[in-house]
Amino acid sequence: MPDSYAVFVNYRTGDEETAAAFIHSHLARLLGKERVFFDSTSIRGGELFPRKLLSAVRRSDVLLAVIGTEWATFAHQDGGPALLRADDWIHRELKEALTCGVPVIPILVGERGRLKRDELPEALAPLIDVQYLRFDHRSAAIDLGRITDEVAAHVPGLADATGQAGQGAPRRADDRSPAAEVSNTAGDVHGTSGQFHDMQAEQVTLSNSGNVLNRPTGPVHTGQHGVQLNGGQDFSGGGDTFFGGDHRGPAPRRRRDRESGTQ
C-alpha cells in the first residue's frame, strides 16, 4: 500500500462514473496508477474498504470531486438524496478531505451547473465557494489539460511529468493569437493523416474508404476520399471542404468542381 497518493478521485456510482474513469486513466498515465486512488482499482480483495477509503483521502495531495447532474439528487434506497446522509460515502470522503485540509477541486461534468447551498449538507457547504473546473467529453483534450495544470499545483513532480505546469491545455479553436498559428506540411503520405486546428468534432474517424466527422464546427478538408458529416452533410469525390459552425464575415465560395466546371 502506498504511503501517500497524489490524487484521490471521488465520484458517485450512477453519476458520471465514466467521466471519473476517464480522468483517472489520464492521470494514472502521467503519475503511475499506484499514485492515483480510484476505488475500483485501488482497493484489493479482502481489504476493509471503509478504513482504506478514509485513510487514502487523508494521505492524498488533492481530491477531485467528479460531479454530474445526478450527483446531488441520487436517491438513497431508503428515500431522499443520498448526499444528505452522513453515511453516504461521497459525503464521508468529501467531509474527511475538508476536515483534514486536503484541497478539493470540483469537476463539473457536461451540463452540470454550479453547486447550490440547498443541495448540500452542512458539512459540505464550504464547497460552494471552491473554484471548480469543467469536463466534457466533447472537449476532453482541452479539459484534461486544464485539470492536469491545476492538479500540478498541488502534486509535487506532476509539472515535470507533463513538461511544465501551465502547458497542459491545448488551445481552443477560436484562439487567434500568433502562438496558436499552425503550419504543418505532410509530404508523400501513404495512409491516414489528420491535422485538426480550427475544427472541433465529437468524433473523428479517418479511413481509406471514407472519413466520418461527427458534428464538426469549423472548416474541414478531408482529402481524397468521401466525407460523411453526421451533422447532416454527405460529400464524395476527390477532396471536399466543408465550412461549418458560426462563421463571421463573408461566406467562402465553394471550390470549383474540377470535372463539371460548376460553382
pLDDT at 214: 53
Angle subtended by helix axes 17-31 and 140-152, to nearest 10: 60
Q: Where are the domains of the chain?
A: 5-161, 194-252
pLDDT string in tens for the chain (263-residue length): 566 899 999 999 989 999 999 999 999 999 999 999 998 888 888 887 888 899 999 999 999 999 999 999 998 888 899 999 999 999 999 999 999 999 999 999 999 999 999 999 999 999 999 999 999 999 999 999 999 999 999 987 777 655 544 444 444 444 443 334 444 555 555 555 555 444 444 444 444 444 445 555 555 555 554 444 444 554 444 544 444 444 444 444 433 333 334 44
Separation CA 233–CA 212 (nearest Å): 11
pLDDT at 175: 42
Separation CA 85–CA 87 (nearest Å): 5
**Phi-psi map region of 261: left, alpha, beta (phi>0 left; psi -120 to 50 alpha):** left
pLDDT at 158: 73
Nearest-5° Cα angle at 28, 87 to 108: 55
Domain over 5-161 is classified CATH 3.40.50.10140? yes
Separation CA 86–CA 107 (nearest Å): 22
Q: Please name every residue paired with 10 in a beta bridge, in sequence order, or none if there are none.
A: 65
pTM attached to this predicted model = 0.62
The answer for residues whose C-beta is within 8 angstroms of residue 39's C-beta and 6 or more apart is: 49, 53
pLDDT at 180: 41
pLDDT at 194: 52
pLDDT at 79: 84
